[in-house]
Structure 1
Amino acid sequence: VRHDTECFCISPGSRSTPLTSAVAANPKANAVICYDERAAAYYALGHARATGLPAVLICTSGTAAANYLPAVIEASVEQIPLLLMTADRPPELQDTGANQAVNQTHLFGTHVRWYFDPGCPGSEFSAEALLTTIDHAIFKTHFPLSGPVHLNFPFREPFFDIDDHGKKVQYKLTSDKKTYVRNSVPRKIMPVDEIKELIKNRPGSGILSIGRVPRDSLDSIRMLSAELDWPVFADITSGLRLGNKCPNRITYYDQLLHEELDTVNWETEAIWHIGFPPTSKRWLTCWVQKPAPQMVWIADHSERHDQSNHFRWKIETDIDEFCHYAVNVLKLEKKKYKRKSKKEDWLYASKIVENLMDEHINSNVEKKQIDEFCLVRRLTEIIPEDFAFFIGNSLPVRAVDMFGSGKGADVATALNRGASGIDGLIASACGYSAGLKQPVTLLIGDLSAIHDLNSFKMIAESEMPVLLVIINNHGGGIFSFLPISRQKEMFEMFYGTPHNLDFRAISEMFELEYHRPESINSFEEAFLMSTQKNKSAVFEIITKRDQNPKQLDEFKKKLMKCDFRPK
């Protein structure tokens, strides 16, 4: 609490009683009770993603802690701060066959930034030692690389100190609001000479590529985009792909990088990438097959993220500071001479794709069979500006990256894209909503929803509305795009994973408003009505997954007929 941590996700259990009771006794601690530890961990992940502050997880011993692992992996890869506080059996019960006693030492392996077990509480472990441990644990969730930290606490019974009369000893909370240890915040030294060299030697035709970046750097990235005057490829994870506030953005760059289009062969002399890797497989393929003469990666960490192995220059610095400094250097240089970029060519080509998409969408809005890609495009046009947008993995993120509209509201966007799992997405979105203190629209597939059914309870209890849009194509729709789909004798059972389930009953179980629109127009009407009600709702969209490749192929044929060169 002294570190402004505001989210404590607690799963019920006896052995963790000392930890749980400490949260219960502190009026400043915001407790979220989660029956399932896996969902609790994903909720904490979403909350921490929204706030940038470590959410705290508390659970009992045994398999309870093991259920945190998927979210811990995601937090580690995505560099999201989490603090795991797991209760454990005391050492005399370890390796004895005692109930609920498993080896929790380094349970999460290399996926945590720090692990520590202080031993059972006792007079030899002072309050000062405990305070320095907590302060160090919080510090390690941020530095030198943000991520999860694991503190393992073995407890002996009784869990409360009892006086001579058999009553629980009451401890008063300290009135000290400051941290016990004052840790100075490490700062990266901005490599000003390198940035000057980068700006001075930049070629005329470059591409500014944006991956996931800190939210507080978005404004400065927009300034750099405008001043650099290069075409901008903004990934869906960047927070700049949707809306209309990113200068020089090539909204549909993914479509323009199709291997059969001439645009994929347009030469560029430089690629500057900022942040985490992009989602677009076509863009990643270009890095491998057609690397630019100058490949520069700007990141605020030292991790290796270049899977193409073609980026020969990496600049590690604070992204916001980099952009501000680069803008100033560019402004001074512009007084001397102006370089010509190929921005206009890319903008013209992207506009052609946009017009083609609009025509395609308008021809499908009244059809009784909803086209998943048309649905995604319309959804990204109508999400209100006061809502955030959480996007599921597998097909939803790819559909939004390819077809998401640039004409909708500029909304906060989030994904669990580190390890790209399809589990825990509902819980993550609920945590994200709570952290932002904003309503959220969540777009996921049916298998993702089945993975996280117990988190429908979180939607029902969310203080802010969560509008869950489920694309139900009755199986694993993403696999229909793979070559294995042609192996009909094995595809359905092992990859298509067909089912006949729907989500009406579970929505009713948790008293959630349920909609099953049959056209894009009816979906838009129901969705917009729900945004005005200030309550959560579920929208189930029934589609046919075997139609997805056909729909993309139909759009591709139209794309092939376009002339993307400016007249």
Structure 2
Amino acid sequence: MTIPPAVATARALIADLVSRGVRDAVLAPGSRSAPLAYALAEAADAGHLTLHVRIDERDAGFLALGLSKGAEGAPVAVVTTSGTAVANLHPAVLEANHAGLPLILLTADRPHELRGTGASQTTDQVGIFGSAVRYAVDVPAPVAPAGEDDAAAALRDLRSVAGRAVAAALGFRSGHPGPVHLNLAFRDPLAPSAPLPGLPARDADEGHPKPDAPLVVPAVHQHLGSPALPGDPERTVVVAGDDAGPEARQLAEAQGWPLFAEPSSGATGGPNAIAGYRMLLGADELAGGIEHVVVLGRPTLSRPVQRLLGRPSVAVTVVTPGAGPWPDAARNAAVVLPGLAPVWFEPAERPTTPFLERWQAAGASAAIVLDEATSDDAVLGGPTALSVARAVARVLGPADLLVVGSSNPVRDLELVLGLDGPGPAVLANRGLAGIDGTVSTAVGVALAAARRGLRTRALLGDLTFLHDVGGLLRGPDEPPVDLEIVVVNDDGGSIFATLEHGALAATGDAASATFERVFGTPHGANLAQLCAGYGVDHQLVKDVPTLRHALQAPSHGVQVIEVRVPRVDRLAEVHTLADRIRTGLG
């Protein structure tokens, strides 16, 4: 049987990507991408990879992003057809770029002779993702080889491109992983003339094949003879942003420095973690004593932290491995290091200082206020968003992963995480901190995390949920997934009430009406009916004890737990809580 060049090339490419460590591929249906679809189905049937099919390319992109997050940075392939299908990947590509996640984008395209002719579903896909990808190649449409030498040369060229793509996606040379783009032109015929013989099945006990040419990530560190820092070392704090890793906590505890850790930093907990730190930064008697900040990860969550990093009197050291841009939105970094030398993690002579003790006492005082504000007695009249976040954090443990949405949920979680113990590991789309694609991301995380024996939940706001409600759509043949999604429904965008827009809205009826229309954006959506349409279980809970019970009960499949909370008093609640925390400093 003669196999068309497009089909043969697609088979060879998928086989090569599998040999280089790709274990998951997400496919959106299309015609021009048919050769890749056949190759993926063949590889999946043989057990070489797991195939996920989604009808919406935007959901497919974020599903792949979640799979990579849940598998701790494994490369994941995404396949689309030509035209607008490619453009729909762009939000996920941008998030993967800023979060440093290795997506391999395989986009089908028309051959060069059909481009610019008005052919259906044909646009300029070359360079469509701009600087958001680490590597991009426009791969010409394959032709039938004239002989064995031509076939071998074409295969060698294809493998070279695939190898470079995977290396760039994983950041092997740069230390800066992220998405890559292979734009693959295919000519008709796009399907085999007869069923393909199929690949030999992979023995479940033999493990996946190893890459043909493994690449080694070099260790990148700048070894300082000693932690010689600007300012007074005893007046230093550690800021752990998204994906900082446990190194941030280890550093703070070794040096005796207060730790300001975002929920998705991977560095929360421990004796130096300061509860309610973003509200405590409003107290001059505390914040005014900071002379130096060491930043790890990407801090994007808190305006008080950004103001701290921008203070001219504060020296900032940023630790950021790899060749990517370093986080310095305030443009105030004095030192940028690619890594930390072991001496930084050796305990200081005075790991406990009066400066640290003041911050620890303030954090303990803030924790008392937060505990009182979220206790069952405090929310007898109905749950608040903050009490919902605490209930979720309280019942989840080390065997759980929590995907948290942007806007208020992640900020609420920041205030309560750690009040009842270590809590779960937290993942979030903080590369660009957008709300789009979060349901699909959570599904991808759940699929990948289950292989590691972890259970996944998600905590989302109502707008975040509605923005990606299509992520609930899964065909009957897709791999099963267990995921509980807690939706905090305040019928709109309460995050804006906590910003300057909320203060302006309080100045009069006209301003309030404008706020409600263009920022509050009430929707009145019936989440139960939406879930029913997608075949997903839905439960409306009306109080915090019922929520805790629902989360502790066994569950299977995708389930949505809705908790309705008020939005009208959100700004006043934030101000009152901050005032109570600062008053408690004495």
Same topology, TM > 0.5: yes
Corresponding residue number in structure 2 for 1:137: 165
CA-based RMSD of the aligned residues comes to 2.6
Corresponding residue number in structure 2 for 1:279: 301
2:426 pairs, out of 403, 413, 416, with 413
Alignment map for 1:9-20 (pairs within 5 Å):
9-20=26-37
Corresponding residue number in structure 1 for 2:253: 226
Deviation at 1:12, TM superposition (A): 1.0
Structure 2 distance, partners of 1:136, 1:6, is 18
1:107 pairs, out of 128, 139, 142, with 128
Question: Secondary structure of the equivalent of 1:541?
Answer: strand
For structure 1, which segment, 409-418 or 32-41, has the greater mean C-alpha deviation from structure 2 after superposition? 409-418
Structure 2 distance, partners of 1:462, 1:159, is 27
Structure 1 distance, partners of 2:475, 2:455, is 11
- Structure 1 contact 139–183 (Cα < 8 Å) conserved: no
Structure 1 distance, partners of 2:552, 2:312, is 43
- Structure 2 contact 78–105 (Cα < 8 Å) conserved: yes
- Structure 1 contact 5–54 (Cα < 8 Å) conserved: yes
Structure 1 distance, partners of 2:227, 2:219, is 19
The 3 A distance-change label for structure 1 pair 455 and 462 is: farther
Corresponding residue number in structure 2 for 1:326: 344
Structure 2 distance, partners of 1:197, 1:140, is 33
Alignment map for 1:76-475 (pairs within 5 Å):
76-122=97-143, 123=145, 126-143=154-171, 144=174, 145-160=176-191, 162=193, 167=194, 177-180=209-212, 182=213, 184-192=215-223, 194=224, 196-198=226-228, 203-213=233-243, 217-218=245-246, 220-241=247-268, 244=269, 246-258=270-282, 261-289=283-311, 291-292=313-314, 294-302=315-323, 303-317=325-339, 322=340, 324-327=342-345, 330-331=346-347, 334=349, 340=353, 342-362=355-375, 364=377, 367-437=380-450, 438-458=454-474, 463-475=480-492
Deviation at 1:76, TM superposition (A): 0.6
The 3 A distance-change label for structure 1 pair 549 and 535 is: same
The answer for unaligned runs of 5 or more in structure 2 is 1-17, 203-207, 506-510
Question: Secondary structure of the equivalent of 2:243?
Answer: coil
The 3 A distance-change label for structure 1 pair 297 and 116 is: same
- Structure 2 contact 102–169 (Cα < 8 Å) conserved: yes
TM-score, structure 2 normalization: 0.86
- Structure 2 contact 221–341 (Cα < 8 Å) conserved: no
Deviation at 1:238, TM superposition (A): 0.6
Which residue type is aligned with residue 131 of structure 1? R
Corresponding residue number in structure 1 for 2:15: none
Corresponding residue number in structure 2 for 1:542: 564
Query: Which digits, 9 at most, give the CA deviation of each residue in 1:310-359, with x for residues without a partner?
Result: 22111112xxxx364422xx35x74xx77835111111111111111212
Question: Secondary structure of the equivalent of 2:486?
Answer: strand
- Structure 1 contact 276–299 (Cα < 8 Å) conserved: no
Structure 2 distance, partners of 1:323, 1:451, is 43
Sequence identity, in percent?
Answer: 25
The 3 A distance-change label for structure 1 pair 225 and 369 is: same
Q: How many residues are treated as equivalent by the alignment? A: 538
Which residue type is aligned with residue 523 of structure 2? H
- Structure 1 contact 382–409 (Cα < 8 Å) conserved: no
Structure 2 distance, partners of 1:422, 1:454, is 14
- Structure 2 contact 104–179 (Cα < 8 Å) conserved: yes
Corresponding residue number in structure 2 for 1:513: 537
* 1:3 and 2:34 correspond: no
Which residue type is aligned with residue 204 of structure 1? E
Deviation at 1:205, TM superposition (A): 2.4
The 3 A distance-change label for structure 1 pair 140 and 90 is: same
For structure 1, which segment, 412-421 or 376-385, has the greater mean C-alpha deviation from structure 2 after superposition? 376-385
Which residue type is aligned with residue 545 of structure 1? R
Deviation at 1:412, TM superposition (A): 1.8
2:92 pairs, out of 59, 62, 71, with 71
Deviation at 1:552, TM superposition (A): 1.9
For structure 1, which segment, 92-101 or 195-204, has the greater mean C-alpha deviation from structure 2 after superposition? 195-204
Deviation at 1:22, TM superposition (A): 1.2
TM-score, structure 1 normalization: 0.88
Corresponding residue number in structure 2 for 1:23: 40
Deviation at 1:43, TM superposition (A): 0.6
For structure 1, which segment, 202-211 or 541-550, has the greater mean C-alpha deviation from structure 2 after superposition? 202-211
Query: Which digits, 9 at most, give the CA deviation of each residue in 1:412-444, with x for residues without a partner?
Result: 211111111111000001111222223211111
Structure 1 distance, partners of 2:475, 2:493, is 24
Deviation at 1:171, TM superposition (A): 7.6
Deviation at 1:179, TM superposition (A): 3.6
Structure 2 distance, partners of 1:392, 1:105, is 32
Deviation at 1:373, TM superposition (A): 1.3
Deviation at 1:291, TM superposition (A): 4.0
Structure 1 distance, partners of 2:34, 2:436, is 28
Question: Secondary structure of the equivalent of 1:546?
Answer: coil
Corresponding residue number in structure 2 for 1:40: 60
Deviation at 1:150, TM superposition (A): 0.4
Deviation at 1:186, TM superposition (A): 4.0
Structure 2 distance, partners of 1:267, 1:196, is 23
Deviation at 1:366, TM superposition (A): 5.0
- Structure 1 contact 206–341 (Cα < 8 Å) conserved: no
The 3 A distance-change label for structure 1 pair 546 and 187 is: same
- Structure 2 contact 238–260 (Cα < 8 Å) conserved: yes
